[in-house]
Amino acid sequence: MDHRLADLLKLMQLERLEMNLFRGESRDIGAPQVFGGQVLGQALVAAYATIDAQPVHSLHAYFLRRGDFTAPIVYEVDCSRNGHSFTNRRVIAIQRGEQIFNMAASFQNPEDGFEHQIPMPVVVPPEELTDLNATTAEQRAKLPERLRRSFERESAFEFRQVQQFDLLNPQPAPSLQQVWFRAVDKLPDDDMLHRCLLAYVSDYHLLTSSMRPHGIAFTSNKVMVASIDHAMWFHRAARMDEWLLYSIDSPSASGARGFARASIFKRDGTLVASTAQEGLIRVVRPS
């Protein structure tokens, strides 16, 4: 297995401290704080460790404080309900005695019922697009130092953007963006793992959609960006080592917050998940 993906899988393995208490490591991805998707994915792993075979169907989370990637994160799971059809868990992430994150997740035994979905947008296939991680040394040199490191880090996922957006010279653009993504190597046949990794990667690209209409890139020193909350619904099973399309739009920005929502499709058009997120997009005023 590719070393980048192997390291991510190691990151998603938590140490059990007590029956409902777990500890996880963090990784420096070039940001000043722990990547929100990492905490989201690890919290879901912790919740899964306290249930039987029910797959997750939804989660709702709040990011309360910046996480420190130099210190471990402790995850405390509250077994709110063990039902015949539905099971509910609440997870609190703690660092240095303070909550940095909390999440409620619901799990359901598979059932038959009505089926419908929205159609997948018609977009350029991933083979015709360039990997977003493939920035040149010349391009990276023009980025602020605080962001350059994030582009120099090796990613466990490929991202191929349909609507191009110049990070160095951003111009106002529609708030819609679509991104193909997949893991860089083959993954085990474990539905729980694929759902936890989907939660991990779902934190990418959402807030940047709220900034596009204003001609601001996340690389800018003029804006402070941070996730506030994150919701996710898992409709159908998917593999993270196959191409998935993240179709995102931002209906609103107000009060220094941007709101984005998205649908995630398999390549054959099957809708596998939906997400929604509100985040801080605060303009930094000169002191």
| Choice between 222 and 144, residue whose per-residue pLDDT is larger | 222
Active site residue 7: no
Least reliable range by pLDDT among 60-69, 138-147, 169-178, 274-283: 138-147
Exposed e or buried b for every residue in 210-243, given b needs 16+ CB within 10 A?
A: bbbebebbebbeebebebbbbbbbbbeebbbbeb
What is the reported pLDDT for 287? 64
- pLDDT class for 155, splitting at 50, 70, 90? confident
Mean pLDDT of 36-63: 96
Q: 164-184 pLDDT, tens per residue? A: 877 777 788 888 999 999 999
Mean pLDDT of 35-62: 96
- pLDDT class for 161, splitting at 50, 70, 90? very high
Identified catalytic residue from 26, 177, 203, 263: 203
* Predicted structure pTM score: 0.92
What is the reported pLDDT for 144? 64
Active site residue 13: no
105 token code pair = 């997740």
What is the reported pLDDT for 270? 98
pLDDT averaged over the chain?
91
Active site residue 78: no
Identified catalytic residue from 175, 227, 247, 250: 227
Identified catalytic residue from 155, 161, 209, 277: 277
Residue 232: CB partners within 8 Å, gap ≥ 6? Answer: 58, 59, 199, 202, 273, 274, 275, 276
Indicate whether 137 pLDDT > 60: no
Question: What value does the CA radius of gyration of the chain take, rounded to a whole number of Å?
Answer: 19
What is the reported pLDDT for 171? 82
Q: 66-115 pLDDT, tens per residue? A: 988 889 999 999 999 998 899 999 999 999 999 999 999 999 999 999 99
Class of residue 129 by CB neighbours under 10 A (exposed 0-12, middle 13-18, buried 19+):
middle
What is the reported pLDDT for 180? 97
Within 10 A of 190 (CB to CB), how many other CB atoms are there?
Answer: 10
3-state helix, strand, coil in the chain (%, to 5): 20, 35, 45
| Choice between 144 and 190, residue whose per-residue pLDDT is larger | 190
